[in-house]
Structure 1
C-alpha cells in the first residue's frame, strides 16, 4: 500500500537559507564611523543646543536637577531635527512595562497647517509626557482594568535612538511608565529610584575616605546567551512557537558531551548573522564586545562593555530586539528561553554589576594589595552583607517558570544564593574575620614549559562556574539571572540592598568613631560585619550534595522553584526596605508579586495545553499511521509465510506505549481543565503540583515513542535536526 502521509524533508528545509544584508561588497564596516550614529548621545546634544540650555540639561542628567520646560522645548526641537534628518516620520515613548518586554505607541511628527499642507512639529510637552492606554498592561491590582490612564515620562539619562525599517524610521525616546496616581507600572521607574538611593548612600561613605565625587553609580554589563535554529524547524514546532521551548524531544546520540561547540569555529551563516547584529547595535550605540559559541550545540553568546545601569538596561532590551529581528533575515529564529532544549545547557544573562564614581573610579577594584585597600574592602564588605541579608530577595527576582528548568543544571548555578570571592579575597576575609588583617596572596606568573610561549600573569584566584554571585576581578557577576529576563529588576534590587548595607556600615562607623581613630574604627566595623555575614561566602562546588547540607546548616535558603521563592518578594522586611529607600511602595511591591505569580500560572497553562494539543493532533495520529503500516506488513507477511516475530514485537511495543500515552494525555487534559482555586496563587500552585508532573509524564512516553516510530512518520523536527543542521 502507498503512504499518503509524508514527514517534511529536514535537509530540503534548510537548503536555501537567507543571506541577510551582508553582500560580498559589504564584508566590513568602519566601527568608529558608524558607532552611535542612530543614537542621540550627549556630545550631539551639546553640539546642537545653546550653551545655557546645555548647562541646564547637563545638571538634570548628571545631578538630578529638575527639568526646566524651556530646556525641554529646546531639546525637543533638536531631537526632532536630528531624527527627521535620519528619515524618521514618527516618534514613540519607548518603555518597559511589567511584561518584561518593551512597549511603544507611534505618533507622527506631521501636523496639518492652515494652508492645506503640513509641518513637522515636536514640542517639549510631547517630549516630556505621553499618554498610552494603560488598561491592558499588567498592574497587579494597582488599578482596576477600567482605569485606563497611564503616563510615560521622558528619561533624559538614557539616549534617544532611531529604529529603522526598510520602509522608514522611528525616533524612540526612553521613558518611565506610571499610573494616573503616579505608581510605577514598569521596571524603569524603580531602577531610577534605586540609582538615586545608591548615589546618596555611596556619597555618604566616600566622605570617610576623602574621595571627592559628585555622584556614585552602579554599572552593568549583561552577557546574553541565546539559541539559533532554522525558521523552518521553528515553525514546525508548535511548542517553540507557543511556549518558547521544546515540550518534546528525545535526547540525540550527540549533545554537548564532546565539548566541541564551546568557543569553536563559528559557522559561516551564524557568523554573518552575528556581524549583522553587531553592526545594528553599534549604530545604536550599544558597545558590544564579545561573541562566541556557547556550550550547547546551537547556543551562542554576545556581551557588551560596562555602562551605567540605566543605560545598560535599555541597551540590553535593544540587544534582545535586534537579535530577534536580524535572525529573520537569515531564515533563523533566535530563542531566548532559559531552557529551550532538555538535556542541554540552558541560557542565562550573567549580569556583571559594580559600583563606581561618575568620573570612572571603580569602587570594586581591589588593586595590587587588597588587604590594604580599605575603600575597596568597605564596599566589598557591604556587598557581602547585602547579599547575605537579602538572599531571599535576590532569589525571588530571578524566579520564573523558565529559570526553574535551568537553575542547578549544567553550568547554571544552584538555587542557593552564595558568594564566591576567589582564593585571594577568601583568604583576606578569613583574616578580617579573625581580626588580624596582614597580607594578600599574590598571583605571580604562570610558566608554560617552553621559552617560545610567554609567561602569563596568573590571577590570585580561580573562577567558579557554579556560583550564583561571583567576584570576577573588579565586579560581581550575578549568574542566576535568566536569559529571557529584563535586567532592570535584579539591578534595582542590587542597588537597593547595597544602599542599605552601606548606610548600615556608615552607622556602625559613626558609632566607633566616637571612641577610636578612623583606621581602628574601620577595621572594627569590617570585622563585625564580616563575622555576621560570613556564612554567605562559599568557594566550593555548588552542585555537590555536601553543599546542599552545608548551606542548610549555615541558614541559607534553598528555594528550588518559583513558587518557593516568590512569597519572599513581599515579606515585611523587604517591603520595609523598598519603602525606606523610596524604590517601591508596599502596594507597588505586592503588585509585582501578583504579576509574577500570574505570569507563572499562565506560562505553565500555555505549556500544558500546548502539550496536550500536540499529543492529540500530531503524535497520536503519527503513531497510529505507523502502526497501521506495521499491521499491514504483519498481515501480508503472515499470508506469505514470512518470519515476522520481530515486527510483531515492535508493533506490540508501540501499541503498549500508545495506550500509555493516550492515558497520560487524558490525565493532563483533566488537570488542564482544573484551575486549582479562585486566586492566582492557588492556580499557580495547581500548575506546579499537578500540571507540571502530568506534562512530564506525557513527555517521557512521547520521547520514548520518538525512538521507535519511523523517522519519516514523526511529525516534527527532532533535536538532531534543530541543533545540528545549519
Structure 2
C-alpha cells in the first residue's frame, strides 16, 4: 500500500515556524525573536538582518523566487505586490538577497486603496510593516513559489489604512486591562492575555460551468433572479448528511493545502441548505486567526477551480434557503493557560469569572450598536433576521445555569448554588449514560456563551473577522478598565467586587435573552427593553462616529477620530458601489437575456395558437392562450419595472454626498430591484427551460 503523508508530517511545512527558525536562525537570534513575539516587543534591529537572511534561505530552499508583503486593506480582501530576491547583477550574475529593511518595511501606493479621505490622490506613499507575531508562509501557484510576509498597512502619517493595525492596537488594550483584572485576584504568574478566536466558515459550492452561465453570480456573488426549485431545505436531509464524492475530494484538497500553510482546519460537514458546507479551525491568537481565515477563503476559492467548482462566500447567494455566516468564537487566554471565560464547575463561587462576565455584559449592552456595525456588510442585509440567522438585534444568551446565578445575585445579593447537569439516559443498554452540560445551546442568539467562550454569530461569511474582534477587544478593555479603576483602590476588595458584580448584572440584564431569537415576539420584547434593531448596513454605520465610539477608541488608541470618519465614508461608498453593481447587473441580465428569451417564448406560443386555429378552426387553443396571457402580464410588469429601475439609477447619479447616496440606494434602488425580480421569477416558472437563458436554482443547488 502506498505510504501517505500524515497530518503531523505536512502540518506547517510551508510556514516559517519554530521548527524552521531553529534550523535557519542562530540560536541566540531564535531566542530573541521568540521573546519578541511572546512578549509583544518591538523587533530589535540587531537581529533583523539575521532573521531576514534565515527566512530567505528557508524560502529559497523550498523553491521561492519572490516575496510579498501581504496585507489587508479596507477593500475586504487581501493585497500583495511581488518582488524577486535578486539584487543588481554583477559580472553577468545575480545574487539572491533579502535585507532587514525588505523584511520589516515595504511601500505601496496608499492613494489607490480605500482611505475615506485619509489620503489624497496625490499623496501616494503608504508603508507595510511586518507583523512578526503572525508567521510568514509560502504559497505555490502558477507564479511559482512566493514568500508571504503578513504585514500592517499605514499611511505616510501613520494612519491605519488596513484592518490589522487597529486589531493589533486592540490586542494591546485588552492585554493591559485584562492583566489588571487578574492581578486583583492575586495572579502574579500571567504576563500576557491574548484573545483567542476560532472562525467557523460557511460556504456554498456550485458547478463552475453552471456558474459561468450566471452573470449575476459572476458580477455580484449572489443570484439576483431565481425561482425556488420543487425541493429546498425543508426535509433537513442535507445538514450533516453524507458528503458527496466530488465535494469530499474538494474538501480533502483544501485540508491538505491549509495544513501545509499551518491553518488548523479541524471540522467539515454539510450545512443546512443544499450545496452549503462548513469548515471550522482550532482556536488561535486573534491576529493569526484573522490571517488564517483570509488564507482559508482564498484557498477555498482557488482549490474549487481545480475541481471544476466555484466557491460562493456571499452571505445570501440564494433566496429562500439558508445564508452563510462566520461564527466568531472569542475567548481570553493568558500566556500560562488561564481562560478567563471558564466558569468552572461552580460558577456561583468563581468571583473572578463573574466579574469578567458582568464586565462583558456591560460592554455588549453599552456598545451594542457598534458590535452590530462590526458585522455589517451588504450581503448580511439579506441574511440577518431570516429564519437561519440571528436577528439584527444584539442580545446575549447565557443559559439556565448562569441566568440562575444572576437571578440569585440580583434578588438576594448572594448566589449559593449553580444548576448542575443531569445524567442522560438513552434507554438502550448498549449505549453509555453520560453527564449532560448544565445548559443547552441556543442557535438563534447573536452572542451566545458556550461553555468557555462567546460565539458571535452575526459575522457574514465573506467578511473579515478583524472588525468584530477589534470591537470586542476594545469594548471589553474599557469595561475591565472601569472595573479595575474602582477595585484597585477599594478599602474592602471582597465587599466592593461583590457589590460591583451585582450592580453590573442588575444594570445590564436587559441584554440577556435565552429564548427564540427568530420569533416575532422577541422583536417586540427587544423594543420594550430599549434594545436597538438595525436591519440594514446603512442603519449601523453612524455608530462608528458616535461620540461614545470616538471616546472609546481614542482612549485606547485603537482608532483616531479621523480614522473612524474615514471608515464611515468607506462603508457608505462600499454599500453604494455594491448595490450599484447589482442594479446594473439586473438591468443587463433582464434587458439583454431574460426579456428577449421570454419574447421568443411568446412568439412560439403565438405561432402555436395560429397554427392550431388554422388546422382546427372549431378548436379553442385554451392552454396556449391562457399561458400567453399569463406570460404577457408578467412580461409587461418586468418591462415596466426595468424601465423604472433604469430611471431611478439615472437619478442616483445626481446625489454626491456618500451617506445620502447610500441611503437612496437602500430606500429606493433596493425596492426597485425587488420589484423587477418578482415578475421574472414568476416567468421562470412558466417559460420553457430550453429557452431560459441561465441555469436554475435546482441546477445550481442539486447538480454538483
Structure-2 separation of matches of 1:136 and 1:143: 9
Show the counterpart of 2:312: 335
Show the counterpart of 1:615: 590
Structure-1 separation of matches of 2:42 and 2:70: 21
Note if 1:230 corresponds to 2:207.
yes
Shift in Å, 1:445:
1.6
Shift in Å, 1:545:
2.0
Show the counterpart of 1:12: none
Show the counterpart of 1:534: 509
Deviation per CA, 1:270-324: give whole Å up to 9, x if none.
0000000000000000001100000000000000000000100000000001000
Structure-1 separation of matches of 2:61 and 2:434: 50
Show the counterpart of 1:316: 293
Task: Assess if the C-alpha contact under 8 Å between 2:110 and 2:119 holds in 1.
Answer: no
Summarize the alignment of residues 157-556 of structure 1 with structure 2, pairs less than 5 Å apart.
157-166=133-142, 168-211=144-187, 212-434=189-411, 435-511=413-489, 513-514=490-491, 516=492, 518-556=493-531
Show the counterpart of 1:562: 537
Structure-1 separation of matches of 2:437 and 2:513: 19
TM-score scaled by length of structure 1? 0.95
Deviation per CA, 1:358-393: give whole Å up to 9, x if none.
222211111111111122212122211110110010
Summarize the alignment of residues 625-664 of structure 1 with structure 2, pairs less than 5 Å apart.
625-641=600-616, 642-664=619-641
Structure-1 separation of matches of 2:142 and 2:554: 46
Structure-2 separation of matches of 1:705 and 1:474: 51
Give 1:668's match in structure 2, choosing from 631, 638, 645.
645
Show the counterpart of 2:569: 594
Runs of at least 5 residues in structure 1 that lack an aligned partner in the other structure: 1-23
Note if 1:51 corresponds to 2:36.
no
Q: Which moved more, 1:94-103 or 1:35-44?
A: 35-44
Show the counterpart of 1:692: 670
Give 1:719's match in structure 2, choosing from 694, 697, 704.
697
Task: Assess if the C-alpha contact under 8 Å between 1:70 and 1:124 holds in 2.
Answer: no
Structure-1 separation of matches of 2:524 and 2:60: 62
Shift in Å, 1:353:
0.3
Give 1:577's match in structure 2, choosing from 535, 539, 552.
552
Deviation per CA, 1:44-98: give whole Å up to 9, x if none.
2234322332232223212222222121111000100010011100000000000
Structure-2 separation of matches of 1:281 and 1:53: 28
Q: Which moved more, 1:51-60 or 1:456-465?
A: 51-60
Give 1:149's match in structure 2, choosing from 114, 125, 131.
125
Task: Assess if the C-alpha contact under 8 Å between 1:403 and 1:482 holds in 2.
Answer: yes
Q: Secondary structure at the match of 2:111?
A: coil
Q: Secondary structure at the match of 1:126?
A: helix
Note if 1:135 corresponds to 2:114.
no
Structure-2 separation of matches of 1:714 and 1:45: 58
Q: Which moved more, 1:693-702 or 1:561-570?
A: 561-570
Show the counterpart of 1:40: 16
Task: Assess if the C-alpha contact under 8 Å between 2:20 and 2:58 holds in 1.
Answer: no
Task: Assess if the C-alpha contact under 8 Å between 1:149 and 1:180 holds in 2.
Answer: yes
Q: Which moved more, 1:337-346 or 1:373-382?
A: 373-382
Structure-2 separation of matches of 1:194 and 1:682: 31
Task: Assess if the C-alpha contact under 8 Å between 1:466 and 1:541 holds in 2.
Answer: yes
TM-score scaled by length of structure 2? 0.98
Q: Which moved more, 1:439-448 or 1:359-368?
A: 359-368
Shift in Å, 1:457:
2.2
Q: Secondary structure at the match of 2:112?
A: coil
Q: Which moved more, 1:166-175 or 1:716-725?
A: 166-175
Structure-2 separation of matches of 1:362 and 1:80: 37
Deviation per CA, 1:243-275: give whole Å up to 9, x if none.
110000001110000000000000000000000
Shift in Å, 1:167:
5.3
Task: Assess if the C-alpha contact under 8 Å between 2:24 and 2:55 holds in 1.
Answer: no
Shift in Å, 1:450:
1.5
Structure-1 separation of matches of 2:625 and 2:57: 77
Deviation per CA, 1:548-583: give whole Å up to 9, x if none.
121112111111111111111110100110000000
Structure-1 separation of matches of 2:303 and 2:497: 52
Deviation per CA, 1:210-237: give whole Å up to 9, x if none.
2220101100000000000001111100
Runs of at least 5 residues in structure 2 that lack an aligned partner in the other structure: none
